[in-house]
């Protein structure tokens, strides 16, 4: 006898009748197909956007572009050759306050996330959704580093996804301290300064370990916008940004309330910055040896952080320049007197100026005449001081002003030595 089954309402259940009708099956297939297409498309999209990401080998072989430094014989830094003005500093030599300022301002959960901060990302997502803009950023320190090292700065979803994947790979390759060290040495701080060491020199004229807390806060404030918050161009903005960084440090208890109040009251002090030392101590000399070094090392001269030791003596160079300036001033006065008359002054003018200008009237304008004589009849100079015992160059001057003229008269100008060569002739005669 066949056993019958009933449902809760007492109706007989027919197992031959399909429990799921054909309409439901059709909908289920459509949903399954849509999900399959979605996941396959997502996989293909992720494959293509991650295909050009840096390999593990590239991540492990991090080599920042470093400035090559030129030293005098008495170990004074006289110039740097670079594509990016950067000196690499180990994390242990970076001030604690600087590290704390970066963490407090840029990535408070740096030591807790794995390259992407989901909590911060969610907060930024809802804020941007509410304002219908991209005003709120959520990039971690690692993501910022990934963007600077390997990616572009375009604001697209594709770039953001590539940034996240690269950041995760960086986190898997390096420790947190190594990432922080790379970040502080790589980021741009404005006015040609790459990394915290160069920034300390350019803005404060100090070594990194000499920075105060408020100076550390100022540098960290530049990371958001080196141009917009430049203390040299926009001191008011820079001051507000510095104080905001100090407030963030206070919130994380890196500084006390009393310290905070004392520090925000301090004005900006950039008086010792190296921003004006464009050409160094002996510009004609450093340009002369640059041409020699470039033939030997090529582009490595600007990227490999070479240390170049020269025979130039900074004290002898300073004395030579002082003596040269004194003599040039005297000679320039003689030249000015020579051209201050109606017969000789026209020699400084172009043919058109001679036709159109009234020489007598022009000579009455002493300011204009002095300017013209100093420009068109500027006395030039050249000096090379050599140690006769070994041929070492001790001082080197190729002209009165490297900024005005890059022509190196010490090695490029062809002049008769005149009586200056007599000592060499007499020395040979005496020896023989």
Q: What's phi and psi for 404, nearest 5 deg? A: -80, -40
Residue spans of the domains in the chain: they are 1-51, 85-264, 284-431
Farthest CA pair distance, the chain: 143
Domain 85-264 has CATH 1.10.3810.10: yes
- Which string of b and e fits 173-192 if b means at least 16 CB within 10 Å? ebeeeebbbbbbbbbbbbbe
By three-state DSSP, how is residue 373 classified?
helix
Look-up of token digits 């590239």 = 58
Whole-angstrom distance, CA of residue 309 vs CA of residue 410: 21
Q: What angle is formed at CA 208 by the lines to CA 199 and CA 266, rounded to 5 degrees?
A: 80
Whole-angstrom distance, CA of residue 221 vs CA of residue 211: 15
**Contact, 379 vs 328, CB < 8 A?**
yes
Q: What angle is formed at CA 299 by the lines to CA 298 and CA 300, rounded to 5 degrees?
A: 90
Bridge partners of 85, per DSSP, are 193
Q: What is the DSSP letter of 210?
A: G
The whole-number pLDDT of residue 40 equals 86
The secondary element (H helix, E strand) that includes residue 360 is helix 359-364
The whole-number pLDDT of residue 276 equals 46
In the Cβ-directed half-sphere of 400, how many Cα atoms lie within 13 Å? 15
Q: Which two tokens stand for residue 394?
A: 């001790």
The whole-number pLDDT of residue 182 equals 96
State the burial class of residue 332 (Cβ atoms within 10 Å of its Cβ: 0-12, 13-18, 19+).
Answer: middle
Q: Which two tokens stand for residue 294?
A: 């470039």
Ordered DSSP codes for 332-384: HHHHHHHHSSTTTGGGGS-HHHHHH--HHHHHH-HHHHHHHHHHHSPPP--EE
Q: What angle is formed at CA 253 by the lines to CA 250 and CA 259, rounded to 5 degrees?
A: 55
Whole-angstrom distance, CA of residue 149 vs CA of residue 54: 10
Distance of CA 336 to the CA centre of its chain: 44
Q: Which two tokens stand for residue 243?
A: 């104080």
Instruction: Give the count of beta carbons closer than 10 Å to the beta carbon of residue 363.
Output: 15
User: pLDDT, tens digit, for every residue of 175-217?
Assistant: 999 999 999 999 999 999 999 999 999 999 999 999 999 999 9
By three-state DSSP, how is residue 30 classified?
helix
| Alpha-carbon distances, residue 168 vs 24, 98, 180 (angstroms) | 42, 25, 15
Active site residues: 106, 419
Q: What is the DSSP letter of 375?
A: H
In the Cβ-directed half-sphere of 389, how many Cα atoms lie within 13 Å? 2
Whole-angstrom distance, CA of residue 229 vs CA of residue 421: 57
Q: What angle is formed at CA 352 by the lines to CA 347 and CA 355, rounded to 5 degrees?
A: 80
Q: What is the DSSP letter of 85?
A: B
Bridge partners of 6, per DSSP, are 12
The whole-number pLDDT of residue 424 equals 85
* Segment-wise mean pLDDT, segments of 10 residues, the chain, 432 residues: 56 56 76 86 76 77 92 95 94 97 96 89 72 68 91 76 89 95 96 94 92 97 95 95 97 96 94 65 95 96 96 96 92 80 71 72 74 78 94 96 91 85 88 83
């Amino acid at each position: 006898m066949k056993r019958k089954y009933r449902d809760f309402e007492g109706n007989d259940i027919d197992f031959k009748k399909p429990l799921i009708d054909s309409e439901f099956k059709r909908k289920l297939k459509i949903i399954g197909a849509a999900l399959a297409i979605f996941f396959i498309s997502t996989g293909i999209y992720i494959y293509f956007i991650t295909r050009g990401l840096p390999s593990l080998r590239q991540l492990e072989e991090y080599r920042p572009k470093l400035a090559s430094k030129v030293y005098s014989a008495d170990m004074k830094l006289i110039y740097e050759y670079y594509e990016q003005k950067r000196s690499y500093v180990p994390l242990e030599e970076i001030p604690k306050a600087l590290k704390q300022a970066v963490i407090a301002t840029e990535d408070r959960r740096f030591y807790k996330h794995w390259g992407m901060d989901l909590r911060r990302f969610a907060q930024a997502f809802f804020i941007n959704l509410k304002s219908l803009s991209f005003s709120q950023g959520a990039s971690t320190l690692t993501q910022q580093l990934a963007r600077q090292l390997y990616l572009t700065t375009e604001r697209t979803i594709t770039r953001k996804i590539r940034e996240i994947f690269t950041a995760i790979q960086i986190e898997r390759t390096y420790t947190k301290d190594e990432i922080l060290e790379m970040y502080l040495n790589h980021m741009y701080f404005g006015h040609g300064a790459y990394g915290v060491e160069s920034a300390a020199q350019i803005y404060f004229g100090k070594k990194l370990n000499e920075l105060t807390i408020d100076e550390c806060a100022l540098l960290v404030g530049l990371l958001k916008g080196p141009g917009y918050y430049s203390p040299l161009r926009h001191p008011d903005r820079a001051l507000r940004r510095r104080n905001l960084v100090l407030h963030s440090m206070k919130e994380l208890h890196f500084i006390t309330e009393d310290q905070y109040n004392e520090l925000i009251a301090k004005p900006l002090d950039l008086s010792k910055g190296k921003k004006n030392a464009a050409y160094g101590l002996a510009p004609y000399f450093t340009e002369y040896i640059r041409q020699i070094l470039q033939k030997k090392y090529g582009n490595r001269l600007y990227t490999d952080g070479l240390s170049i030791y020269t025979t130039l003596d900074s004290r002898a160079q300073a004395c030579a320049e002082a003596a040269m300036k004194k003599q040039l001033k005297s000679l320039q006065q003689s030249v000015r007197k020579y051209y201050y008359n109606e017969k000789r002054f026209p020699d400084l003018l172009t043919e058109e100026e001679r036709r159109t200008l009234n020489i007598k009237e022009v000579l009455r304008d002493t300011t204009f005449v002095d300017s013209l004589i100093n420009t068109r009849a500027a006395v030039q100079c050249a000096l090379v001081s050599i140690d006769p015992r070994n041929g070492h160059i001790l001082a080197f001057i190729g002209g009165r002003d490297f900024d005005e003229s890059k022509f190196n008269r010490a090695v490029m100008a062809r002049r008769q030595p005149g009586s200056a060569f007599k000592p060499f002739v007499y020395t040979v005669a005496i020896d023989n």
